[in-house]
Structure 1
Amino acid sequence: MRKILSTSIVALVLAAGAGVYIHAAAHRNDAGAAATAAVDIGPGHHRILVRSTAPGSMGHLAVVAGAARTTSSVTCNRVYAAAGTAICLRPDGPLATYQIAVLDEHLAERDTYPMVGVPNRARVSADGRLVTWTAFVTGDSYNGGQFSTRVGVLDTRTGDLVADTLESYALTRDGHPYQAADVNYWGVTFAADDTTFYATMASAGHRYLVRGDLTARTVTTVAEHVECPSLSPDGTRIAFKQAVGGDPVNGWRPAVMDLATAAVTTLPETRSVDDQIAWLDDRTVLYAIHRDQDHADVWSAPADGTGPPALLIPDAESPAPIP
């Protein structure tokens, strides 16, 4: 397992330069971190797990319930959780290398695996069985188009790597088999069956929403101009970030697509949302807005576009609702 996840030493070297800043940002406030406490992300608590961007607790995981906020001693660059399982993408030593940590409902470490590239996206299936991550292997931004990503999917019950690279899956684009050297995937989200997933696929300057099958090892395009999808709890809609004017250089706006009709609702957000949107419930989405390089806040918005965004959790990012 660990051998599969660490196959490309060259890729780690390429990612090192981009990772130095991230490593420093995650740890520079550890010495002065606020007092920490035990947390519980088990189901039934109606909390939101976040990565803190507050002074004194930068990078620490925290759980928020209403006005109450409990900060843990665990630090991550990116986190997500469901059904008592969390995935934490974090630095692994001083050389700008990274690891995937699988955590339990108390954020205690269950297992760790070496990671190729710089952490970017993370998700957990609704039942906590599958975890997935996206990393930049070359480049550190989606904006310029010159980047390469790696996506992995791990079965936490068996420890098996279900997918170490989606590029090996059979891809159908617009109804026809498709192969290209520049195919990249990122931003996986799982359906309830733990077999179906959605993700972004990019090739030849186009970005697509794709639907995949982990058992059949197939991927099929669904729509264009969809990035970092997030499947609603009821499985009927995809929340995503949509490039302004079709060009990521202009930033992104949050939007929601109805999978049955392909109708897209752009939410009334005027700021750029470079995030994999989360669903608080079937009516409300969550996303982070960065105030600067380090600091962000979590905002909520009605998924049907009928209301403006509202500040939900200050000094936080990477929200993961815990029903």
Structure 2
Amino acid sequence: MNPRLRIPLAVVGFVSLVAVATSAIGSAAGPARRTASAGTPGAVSLVPGPHLIARSLAHDSRDHLVSVAANDPRGSRTVSTTSCARLYASAGTGICLRLDGGLRTFEAVVLGPDLGRRRALPLVGVPNRAQVSPSGRMVAWTVFVTGDSYNGGRFSTRVGILDTRTGDLVSTLEDWSVRVDDRPYEAADLNFWGVTFTRDDGHFYATMSTAGRRYLVHGDLATHTLRTVRENVECPSLSPDGTRLAFKSAVDGDPRHGWRLSVLNLTTDTVTPLAETRSVDDQATWIDARTVAYAVARGRGHADVWQVPADGSGVPTLAIPDADSPAALAPPEASEEKPAA
């Protein structure tokens, strides 16, 4: 057990936190550059197929889940009635982080293939990241929280993981056993975010910060253990074949300088910087075995989804205008390699 004291946030502080997030997530600040139409209302499905989903940021369909063709993502879009602050989907399962009605708090909602609500869990914090395992069984989320005694009132992060088959819930990783450089490690300032699952549903990668450092960690759901893999890796995203991780890293190790997208080969331990040189503060997603997609902010409250080859070649191209939270609904490619150990 980590020797820390988590002091609950005062109500007024949490209301302020929600107000800030609602402003950033759910409202536009000034006129938007209309690069995409709002789309056509219709039924959006999470059934695996040649489509991408995303959260629309277009003026007339803001926050709504939209579907576009994978081979023409800038083309017409179908707009659902479902709204999210952050979303992800895989194998017919979706996770939608959103405001809980008029309560001005947030919830994590597990969605079925037809976007029907399967389960909802309250979130004590502001949505930041969402993820679903390749099988659709495991879902995870990251929220911002304040009020931790060690952190002087600044934002902290907290991860939740739900097994949709058994109902088992991991409400925090902060009481798990941690090994740094293969040595037992305990600290009061552990923070975790950005989960990505392996194909066996029993393991995952995530980011851990402590003592001013950021680590890629590997987690074991059966033993509740975490071990560090590498420094300066944030928001990892595992490739369909399980051999590579797309991630962002702080430029010069300092987030104030922005983030650079790269890919880590888990077999050779080599890092390939991608052709995207703008600062990308997002958890990239693999839209196929060769391409990653991610959101690039465009002024307050606006962003576009871009894509770039995962081997460092090519140039970034605009994929889905006025959108964020992209996810591919196509099943993994048939020629899968065995996941790295």
Common fold by TM > 0.5: yes
What CA deviation, in whole Å up to 9, does each residue of 1:234-276 have, x standing for no partner?
0001100111111001111111001112111111222110000
For 1:42, the equivalent position in structure 2 comes to 47
Structure 1 residue 12 displacement after superposition: 6.7
Say whether the 8 Å CA contact 1:15–1:136 is kept in structure 2.
no
SS in 1 for 2:55: strand
The runs of at least 4 consecutive aligned structure 1 residues that moved more than 2 Å come to: 7-16, 21-29, 33-36, 93-96, 144-147
Q: CA 1:184–1:25 in 2, change beyond 3 Å: closer, same or farther?
A: closer
2:247, 2:204 → 1: CA distance? Answer: 14
- Structure 2 CA distance for partners of 1:306 and 1:28, relative to 1, 3 Å: closer
The residue that corresponds to 1:251 in the other structure is: 258
Kept in 1: contact 2:40–2:77 (CA 8 A)? no
Give, in angstroms, the shift of residue 95 of structure 1.
4.7
Aligned length: 308
Q: 1:87 to 1:54 in 2, by over 3 A?
A: same
Cα distance between partner residues in 2 of 1:102 and 1:83 = 13
Q: 1:225 to 1:120 in 2, by over 3 A?
A: same
Q: State the distance in 1 between where 2:292 and 2:39 align.
A: 29
Residue 189 of structure 1 is matched in structure 2 by 196
Cα distance between partner residues in 1 of 2:7 and 2:122:
11
- The answer to which of 270-279 and 90-99 deviates more is 90-99
Question: In 1, Cα distance between the equivalents of 2:327 and 2:174?
Answer: 27
Indicate the residue corresponding to 2:187 in structure 1.
180
Match of residue 120 from structure 1: 128
What is the SS of the residue equivalent to 2:65? strand
Pairs within 5 Å for 1:96-245:
96-138=104-146, 146-161=154-169, 163-245=170-252
Question: How far is 1:175 from its partner?
Answer: 1.3
Unaligned runs of 5+ in 1: 1-6
Cα deviations by residue, 1:184-219 (Å, 9 ceiling, x for unpaired): 110000000001100000000000000010001110
Give the structure 2 partner of residue 278 of structure 1.
285
Distance 1:118 1:82, change over 3 A: same
State yes or no: 1:55 paired with 2:59: yes
Conserved 8 A contact 1:12-1:137: no
- 5+ residue gaps, structure 2, are 1-5, 29-37, 331-341
1:157 Cα deviation from its structure 2 partner: 1.8
Q: Contact 1:200 / 1:226 at 8 angstroms: preserved in 2?
A: yes
Q: Distance in 2 between the 1:100 and 1:120 partners?
A: 11
What's the offset of the Cα at 1:178? 0.3
- 2:338 — aligned with what? none
Closer/same/farther in 2, CA of residues 82 and 8 from structure 1, 3 Å limit = farther
Task: Say if 1:12 and 1:117, in contact at 8 Å, map to a contact too.
Answer: no
- Is residue 40–residue 78 contact of structure 2 (8 Å, CA) maintained in 1? no
Structure 1 length-normalised TM: 0.90
Question: Does structure 2 retain, via aligned residues, the 8 Å contact 1:26–1:75?
Answer: no
Query: Cα gap change, 1:25/1:93 in structure 2, threshold over 3 Å: closer, same or farther?
Result: farther
1:75 and 2:75 matched: no
Deviation at 1:34, TM superposition (A): 6.6
**Alpha-carbon distance, 1:8 to partner:** 8.5
Counterpart selection for 1:310 from 313, 317, 320:
317
Q: Secondary structure at the match of 1:18?
A: helix
CA pair 9-181 structure 1, distance change in 2 beyond 3 A:
closer
Alpha-carbon offset, residue 16 of structure 1: 2.7
Distance 1:11 1:274, change over 3 A: farther
Structure 2: distance between partners of 1:300 and 1:8: 41
**Aligned-residue identity in percent:** 56
Structure 1's 11 and 83: CA in aligned 2 closer, same or farther, altered over 3 A?
farther
Q: Which residue of 1 aligns with 2:298?
A: 291
Structure 2 counterpart SS, 1:56: helix
Q: Which amino acid aligns with 1:226?
A: V
Whole-Å separation in 2 of the counterparts to 1:298 and 1:11: 36
Q: Partner of 1:180: helix, strand, or coil? A: coil
Counterpart selection for 1:84 from 63, 81, 92: 92
